[in-house]
Amino acid sequence: MKQPLHKFLIALTSIALFLPEISAAEDLSVAESLRERIESATEILDLSIDNQPLNSQKDLITFYSDRQFTKAWLANGQPTPQAYQLMQILNSADQHGLNKSNYHVTAINERLERLKAPLNESEILILSVDLDLLLSDAFLTYGTHLLQGQVNPQKLQSKWDTGRRATDMVKILSDAINTNSIEQSLNELMPKQPGYRSLVQALADYRAIKDRGGWPSVTEGPSLRPNEKNPRIIELRKRLAASGDLPNDTVLDSKEFDQPLQQAVKYFQKRHGLEADSIVGRATLEALNVGVDHRIAQIRANLERWRWLPEDLGARHIMVNIAGFALDFVGNGEVLLHMPVIVGKTYRETPIFTGSMTYLVINPSWYVPNSIAVKDKLPILARDPYYIERNHMKLYRGWGANRTEINPLSVNWRQVNPNNFPFRLVQKPGPKNAMGKVKFMFPNPHNVYLHDTSEPSLFNRVDRTFSSGCIRVGKPFALANLVLENNSRMTPDAIREAFDQSDQKTVTLLNPIPVHILYWTAWVDLEGVVQFRRDIYNRDDELIQKLQKSF
């Protein structure tokens, strides 16, 4: 936790007693030295200290040029209160899952200590210039990380394309210095969404668990079931008590799988996206034995993902969590509708991006994407050309008005391969249509959309990676009602009539709705419960490794 600012000011006063004073002439020398250092690096961007390049070189050059190379963090040879306030913030960077070693904390502290010793004018000059540059670079780098994240999601193997926030960091720094608002200026750069703040608190809570020794593992063995007795149940009790899933006042040395323990296991299973049956089988045991260090790393990775989001998600927006198999329709900060979803298979991952829903189609046809046609349907057609008729499909050659319907029985399917597939498959509206009764369109380069399904039983599964990339929604009609509410030229009666019929109907939205397809493996739900999910697409490890690396 942060210490009150007045304590740091007291510490500043005591430190200042040891610092040598610098005359006005020497202040000018610092400015001249800053100018020379900046100008020498302007063309080749070679600003470095201790053989380490500074992170925000272009912004540093602009910042100091704009202020005529005057110092930002020193006055009369002494660090200003703002400098110590910044150091206090940087030392707390881990509260946001960021590594303070990226912000020159060690180098700055070393120079503050060296300033206490007797020094000649040349030594003071070099230390002062170094210190000012380090503090400015630390502010710019830390602020940028709060604003956009430490890792560029475009450089990850699985890209995150949601439109990151941007601002003029030089202006932010200048205004913070001029108005003495270091802490406020940096706080305003972090994500505003409640989900981010809740996850920051979860990070603190799990670090506290780690400080208490973490949690023990549960020995491998047969499934543990309600009402049985087993020595491993003592391990289970201690494990759940350490993470707060089992109340602390519960007896921990009992071998009996009693009712309170059953409830604790079920609670643990729910918040880890497991089958909530109170049975400690393979999947539950695996989740129990994930260490607290990994959970902390997982939280840090998801805090970083929050920093990749746009500033404004939209007053009314749809948020899909791929790893959580869930969709939320949010209106003015309130979740108006929550539902399960089905996402892409592990070899046909649903991409991460932001789109804008502009229309929906009632009773849609399914124009089978070529990738699905050649990978999934062609092997079936080679064995059974009647598949097309049975599934209310039509086969075409060509596109648009020039397309020609083909009798699938006239095709020698064994001679067709993915490289010479000239056809297009279209499934007519109806009960067997893969799109179900409605699809929600937000045009995007991935050709991904939300839609109903002809296989609603799949929503009963815990792990729902069954689609070819698009997202099947568990409550399509409730979603359509919210999407179309005061948002279409069609009357509610006309909309209901369209759903009752079998003809295809396109409904344009008066106001587009932002759709955010995201990937959270750790978050805090509306009840304040920390949720974890299995990393279905193996996207956490790459991000965790990059976050652990220093610049």
With vertex at residue 472, the alpha carbon angle to CA 452 and CA 525, rounded to the nearest 5 degrees, is 120
What backbone phi and psi angles, to 5 degrees, belong to 92?
-105, 15
Region 66-70: what's the mean pLDDT? 92
What dihedral do alpha carbons 380, 386, 390, 394 form, nearest 10°? Answer: 90
318 within 8 A of 518, measured Cβ to Cβ? no
The pLDDT value given to residue 25? 52
Which domains are present in the chain?
Answer: 5-190 (no CATH), 215-290 (1.10.101.10), 312-365+431-520 (2.40.440.10), 367-428 (no CATH)
For the stretch 21-49, pLDDT in tens is 444 455 667 788 888 888 877 666 678 88
Structure tokens at 109: 């502290």
Instruction: Collect all residues with Cβ–Cβ distance below 8 Å to 225 and sequence separation of at least 6.
Output: 257, 278, 279, 280
Q: Which of 145, 272, 451, 516 is catalytic?
A: 451
Q: Would you state the pLDDT for residue 181?
A: 96
Q: How does 323-359 read in b/e, with b if 16+ C-beta sit within 10 Å? A: bbbbbbbbeeeeeebebbbbbbeeebbbbbbbbebeb
Output the pLDDT for position 16.
41
pLDDT above 80 (res 524) = yes
**Do 111 and 15 meet the contact criterion of CB atoms below 8 Å apart?**
no
Angle at 56 between CA 54 and CA 58, to 5 degrees: 110
* Mean pLDDT (whole number) for 152-159: 86
Q: How far apart are CA 221 and CA 281, in angstroms?
A: 9
Alpha carbon dihedral 215, 221, 225, 229, in 10-degree steps, equals -90
How far, in Å, CA of 97 to CA of 106, rounded?
A: 18
What does the pLDDT look like over 265-312, one tens digit per residue?
A: 999 999 999 999 999 999 999 999 999 999 999 999 999 999 999 999
Least confident segment among 155-169, 255-269, 429-443? 155-169
The pLDDT of 245-270, averaged and rounded, is 94
pLDDT over 80 at 505, yes or no: yes
Dihedral angle, C-alpha 87, 143, 198, 247, nearest 10 °: -40
Tokens of 445: 């380069």
470 is annotated as an active-site residue: yes
pLDDT higher than threshold 50 for residue 104: yes
What 3 state SS string does 169-214 have? HHHHHHHHHHCCCHHHHHHCCCCCCHHHHHHHHHHHHHHHHHHCCC
The C-alpha angle with vertex 248 and arms to 245 and 251, in degrees rounded to 5, equals 105
Considering only CA atoms, which of 468, 300, 307, 294 is closest in space to residue 374?
Answer: 468
- Report pLDDT for 42: 63
Q: Is the pLDDT of residue 77 over 90?
A: no
More confident of the two residues 18 and 331: 331
∠ CA 542-544-545, rounded to 5°: 65
Q: Is residue 549 predicted with pLDDT exceeding 80? A: no
Give the pLDDT score at 34: 87
What average pLDDT does the segment 50-63 reach?
90
pLDDT of residue 45: 67
Cβ-contact 345, 471 below 8 angstroms: no
Helix axes 169-178, 121-148, angle to 10 degrees: 120
147 pLDDT higher than 90: yes
The catalytic residue among 96, 317, 470, 516 is 470
Binning pLDDT at 50, 70 and 90, where does residue 3 land? very low
Interval 200-220 mean pLDDT: 97
Residue 300's Cβ-side half-sphere holds a number of Cα atoms within 13 Å equal to 25
Q: What is the pLDDT of residues 172-186, one digit of tens each?
A: 999 999 999 999 999
Instruction: Specify the pLDDT at position 108.
Output: 95
Is 481 in contact with 283 (CB distance < 8 Å)?
no
Report pTM.
Answer: 0.89
401 has a pLDDT exceeding 80: no
Residues above pLDDT 70, as percent of the chain:
94
pLDDT, mean of residues 184-203: 96
- Intra-chain end-to-end CA distance of the chain, in Å: 25
Q: What is the C-alpha separation between 114 and 206, in angstroms, rounded?
A: 37
pLDDT above 50 for 7: no
pLDDT value at residue 26: 54
Res 450 pLDDT > 80:
yes
Write down the mean pLDDT value for the chain: 90
Q: Is the pLDDT confidence value at 10 over 50?
A: no
Q: Which residue has the tokens 């009602």?
A: 481
In whole angstroms, what is the distance from residue 545 CA to residue 540 CA? 9
- Answer whether residue 336 shows pLDDT above 80: yes
Can 145 be counted among the known catalytic residues?
A: no
**Structure token pair of residue 360:** 């929906």
Tokens of 155: 């450089």
Question: Pick the residue with more confidence: 427 or 284?
Answer: 284
